[in-house]
Structure 1
Amino acid sequence: MFFAGSVFITLETGCTDSDTVGPAVEAEGQPESTKTKVLEAGAGVLQRDAPTDKLNIYLVGFHPLKNDPQHQFEAHHFCQQVNEDFMQCVLYDGNTSDANLNGIEYIISERLFDSLPEEEQQYWHPHNGEILSGQLVAPNLPEVADKELMQSKMNSYGKTWHTWNVTYGNESNDRLPLGEPALGWSFNRFGEAQPGLLENRDRRMGISTEERRRQRQDLIPLAHPQAGVDALKGAFERPTKPIPDVVDKSTSAASDLKKRPNP
């Protein structure tokens, strides 16, 4: 159960058949033996799984890597709202029981972000662009519940580490999680996502990013300038354009300074 504004939202991690997304790759290794399956079944009965029971909020969005923006992930987030200012998520390449765990994301409020030292803030990406563009979605929620959830995440920030190069539609997926974790970022301008990335997600899951964008226009007045909006500006191989009212803090501060009368 998750409380957002005046709406109680009950979210299940399972999905209907119409929007299931299987794993992007089968992990390298031998099939489970009968002994392993028996041990697994016994563990399921006798051991606790309370932490994962709390992962009851399901979000789907996209992440480019901050140091390699052409490398982009479709990210299925299974999250727990720990308190009003802090959420923690496990990331997968799909939403079925055999999906591959490929990262983590922590989400904090603007208040907590502003309390961080500048050196730490560089790891946290802004969320207003994801929300106002319609890219970030909570599948299967009614419109009113989706709006409440997205409103609660306006002006928030995420710290994402991808631990496995595996994502839907990527021909160079690894069969195992190799190398160092990579810092994920957010799309903050139209056109930054690779052609087909959003469209393929929408088609498979029965979602309209454009319709979500239109439904969220009344959230625009809530948007504050955020740090990191321009972190990847100019780093993409195609034309991009601003998302209305998604503004970098540094740009906003410079603009305000220009508007001030001379002393």
Structure 2
Amino acid sequence: MVNSTTAALALLASIACGACLAQTAPVPGEPKSAKTIALEAGAKVLQSAAPLRPFNLYMVGFHPMKEHPEHQMEAHHYCHQMNEDFAQCTLFDSNGGNARLNGIEYIISEKLFATLPPQEKAFWHPHNAEILSGQLVAPGIPAPAERALMRSKINSYGKTWHVWNTGHEGGASDQLPLGPAMLAWSFNRDGEALPTLVERRDRRLGINSAELRKQRAELQKLARPQSGVDDLKGKFARPTRELPGVVAQPAP
């Protein structure tokens, strides 16, 4: 059962960030007809959206593609914390009303990750660097609630597939979902994320990643070595630096 802290965080996230909308590109196609609008209105009244209602936890981070790490994008997560060890998230390219659904992410605890076979672990990226660096944020909720949320995600892992290139830093978007799904990863060293990617997100949401990093330094003592920390090591043309508290798990 999800404890009261997690439930409270989800409620706060569901009502937060009404003023931090990000714009997204339009999808090609004709405007909705009167018939389509009427059908949608009827469906809203008559049909159930039960599976969607629990997706009330909102977080924003960044994803590089594992096979193409310079393909980096901002990722808006809307998550359902199903229990203390498992969450499932839908990913969008913004938090506006016309945001494009471009991926999914599953988040599991260190305990569940330990049960996976070695070949499966290669699909799951570590989260400690995202948290300790200040890159992963939950916009709009009070600072103590966000700290509690990030504390609950220390040592967790994510399995993320992006199914639509809706634009990445320095690259154009595809108008439609094209090609195969791409496995996303996490940044685990300073310098891996393009500075403009982080700066633009911070400016729009009115946050300061550098200040968040200082505030989250206390979480370093909880961070244990993680699998996948070195998977993108040496794959960037620019210099990178170790991030305090982020340690690679020794190879078996």
TM-score normalised by the chain length of structure 2: 0.94
Q: How many residues align?
A: 249
Q: Distance in 2 between matches of 1:102 and 1:183?
A: 12
Computing the radius of gyration from Cα coordinates, the structure with the larger value is 1
Q: Distance in 1 between matches of 2:7 and 2:222?
A: 19
1:21-44 residue CA offsets vs partner (Å, 9 max, x unmatched): 122x21111111111111111111
Q: Which residue of 2 aligns with 1:41?
A: 41
What's the % identity of the aligned pairs? 54
Q: Distance in 1 between matches of 2:170 and 2:15?
A: 24
Do the aligned partners of 2:60 and 2:139 also contact (CA within 8 Å) in 1? yes
Q: Which residue of 2 aligns with 1:236?
A: 236
SS in 1 for 2:70: strand
1:250 is displaced (CA, Å) by: 1.8
Q: Which residue of 2 aligns with 1:257?
A: none
**Structure 2 segments unaligned to the other structure (5+ residues):** none
SS in 2 for 1:29: coil
Which structure 2 residues correspond to residues 166-177 of structure 1 after superposition, within 5 A? 166-167=166-167, 171-177=171-177
Do the aligned partners of 1:190 and 1:243 also contact (CA within 8 Å) in 2? yes
TM-score normalised by the chain length of structure 1: 0.90
SS in 2 for 1:175: coil
Q: Which residue of 2 aligns with 1:258?
A: none
Q: Which residue of 2 aligns with 1:26?
A: 26
Q: Distance in 2 between matches of 1:6 and 1:34?
A: 41
Q: Which has the higher strand share?
A: 1
Q: Which residue of 2 aligns with 1:127?
A: 127
Q: Pairwise CA RMSD of aligned residues?
A: 1.7
Q: Distance in 2 between matches of 1:89 and 1:128?
A: 18
Q: Which residue of 2 aligns with 1:204?
A: 204
1:16 to 15, 18, 31: 18
Q: Which residue of 2 aligns with 1:160?
A: 160
Q: Distance in 2 between matches of 1:130 and 1:147?
A: 13
1:13 is displaced (CA, Å) by: 5.9
Q: Which residue of 2 aligns with 1:259?
A: none
Do residues 180 (structure 1) and 161 (structure 2) align? no
Q: Distance in 2 between matches of 1:13 and 1:42?
A: 25
1:69-111 residue CA offsets vs partner (Å, 9 max, x unmatched): 0001100000000001000000000111210000000000001
1:169 is displaced (CA, Å) by: 5.5
